[in-house]
Amino acid sequence: MTTRLIAIDIDGTLMPSTGPRISPRNCAALQAAEAAGIEIVIATGRRQAYAMPLIAQVGLSEDSVMISSNGAVVRGFDGELLDRRFLPLETARQLCVALRGYQTMVFTFDREGAGAMAIENLQQLHARVAKWVEANRPYLVEMQPMERAFDGGEEPVQGMICGTVAEMKEAEKQLLLSDVAADIAMHRTEYAGRDLSILDLLPPGCSKGAALDSLARIRGLDREQIMAIGDNLNDVEMLEYAGRAVVMANASEELLVMAQQRAWELTVSNDDDGVALAVEEVLRQNGESNGEEKIADGIVVEFAQ
Q: How many CA atoms lie within 13 A of 277 on its CB side?
A: 20
CA distances 67 to 75, 160, 268, 293, Å, are 7, 17, 24, 33
On whether the CB atoms of residues 234 and 10 are closer than 8 A, the answer is: no
pLDDT at 19: 84
Q: What is the pLDDT of residue 298?
A: 38
Q: Are 120 and 142 in contact (CB under 8 A)?
A: yes
Nearest-angstrom CA–CA distance, 38 and 51: 21
- CATH fold label, 89-202: 3.30.1240
User: Any idea how long the chain is?
Assistant: 305
Domain range summary for the chain, segments of one domain joined by +: 5-84+206-303, 89-202
Cα–Cα nearest to 218, from 100, 117, 67? 67
Query: Residues 38, 43, 48, CA angle at the centre, nearest 5°?
Result: 115
Which residues are bridge partners to 140 per DSSP? Answer: 117
Closest CA to 70 of 48, 104, 50, 46: 46
Question: CA angle 9-11-17, nearest 5°?
Answer: 140
- Per-residue pLDDT of the chain (305 residues), as tens digits, is 899 999 999 999 999 999 899 999 999 999 999 999 999 999 999 999 999 999 999 999 999 999 999 999 999 999 999 999 999 999 999 999 999 999 999 999 999 899 999 999 999 999 999 999 999 999 999 999 999 999 999 999 999 999 999 999 999 999 999 999 999 999 999 998 899 999 999 999 999 999 999 999 999 999 999 999 999 999 999 999 999 999 999 999 999 999 999 999 999 999 999 999 999 999 999 986 554 333 333 334 443 32
Q: Which CATH architecture has domain 5-84+206-303?
A: 3-Layer(aba) Sandwich (3.40)
- The pTM is what? 0.92
Cβ burial of 215 (10 Å; 0-12, 13-18, 19+) is buried
Q: CB of 85 within 8 A of CB of 202?
A: yes
Euclidean distance between CA atoms 6 and 220, whole angstroms: 15
SS3 229: strand
CB 238 within 8 A of CB 272: no
Contacts with 220 (C-beta within 8 Å, 6 or more apart), sequence order: none
Q: State how far the Cα of 281 lies from the Cα of 29, in Å rounded to an integer.
A: 10
Q: How far apart are CA 267 and CA 96, in angstroms?
A: 39
CA 102 → CA 69, 99, 120, 201, 296, distances in Å? Answer: 21, 6, 9, 14, 49
Instruction: List residues bridging with 246 in a β-sheet.
Output: 229, 265
Any alpha helices (H) in 58-129, and if so which ranges?
89-98, 122-128
